[in-house]
A = this chain, B = another copy of it.
Amino acid sequence: MPFPPDPPLAWTRVATRTLHRTPFIELEQNDVIRPDGSAGDYTLARFVNRAVGVVPWEKGGVWLVGQSRFALGRYSWEIPEGGVPQDEDMEEAARRELKEETGITADTLTHLFDIHTSNSCTDEWGQTFLATGLTHGETELEATEDIQRLFVTLDEALAAIERGRITDGLTVASLYKVALMRANGELG
């Protein structure tokens, strides 16, 4: 255990006001005292939901989903992902997103890691899972979802990260962890 105990939080919140609220984020302006004692402003995007991602693994490869990402103004290939309301179990949400976006149900979900996706100006937190023992069925896409499915070998997926074709954070981190598990002989 090389990590020392956490010191007290070095920031103090003096006042908070909500600038704008949507079903997905709350934009929050804070008056703060910085670690050096000076006064400042710290504006955040607080996420209403948690994020979940799931790596559907079979036959040496993974199922990806492709969709237009408005925030990026571009198309993105990713593991199945979604937002998780505060009252929904994370693993159940992973199973739900997997079924909705790919039609897949899984015998086993294995937790991969917890993650804060972008901790300078958001509080978004999430988890990802490895899904194995896959059974294929019908998708259950929402009307606003415009999603393609694609099976690629893990090596093809890693090569796509290398050339910047896959950039989604949960996807990059999860695929590298799964590749490490494979290298360590921890995958079937």
Which residues of A are in contact with B by a Cβ distance under 8 Å?
2-4, 6-7, 9-11, 13, 19-20, 22, 24-25, 27, 29-30, 32, 34-36, 38, 40-45, 47, 51, 66-77, 83, 113-125, 143-146, 148, 150-152, 156, 160-162, 164-165, 167-169, 172-173, 176-177, 179-180, 183-184
Contacts and interface: CB of A to CB of B under 8 A. Distances in A.
8 contacts: A3-B66, A9-B74, A19-B20, A32-B70, A45-B122, A69-B119, A116-B168, A125-B167
Contact of A2 (B19, B119, B150): B150
A116 B122 CA distance: 14
- Of residues A42, A72, A183, which shows the largest number of chain B Cβ atoms within 10 Å of its Cβ? A72
B45 A121 contact: yes
B27 A161 contact: no
A70 B160 contact: no
- Of residues A3, A7, A70, A113, which shows the largest number of chain B Cβ atoms within 10 Å of its Cβ? A70
Given A9-B73, A68-B35, A176-B176, A122 B119 contact: no
A44 B69 CA distance: 12
Given A3-B66, A35-B146, A40-B144, 12 more contacts: A3-B77, A4-B148, A9-B70, A36-B146, A45-B121, A47-B121, A72-B123, A76-B119, A115-B172, A116-B169, A118-B118, A176-B176
Contacts of A42: 70-71
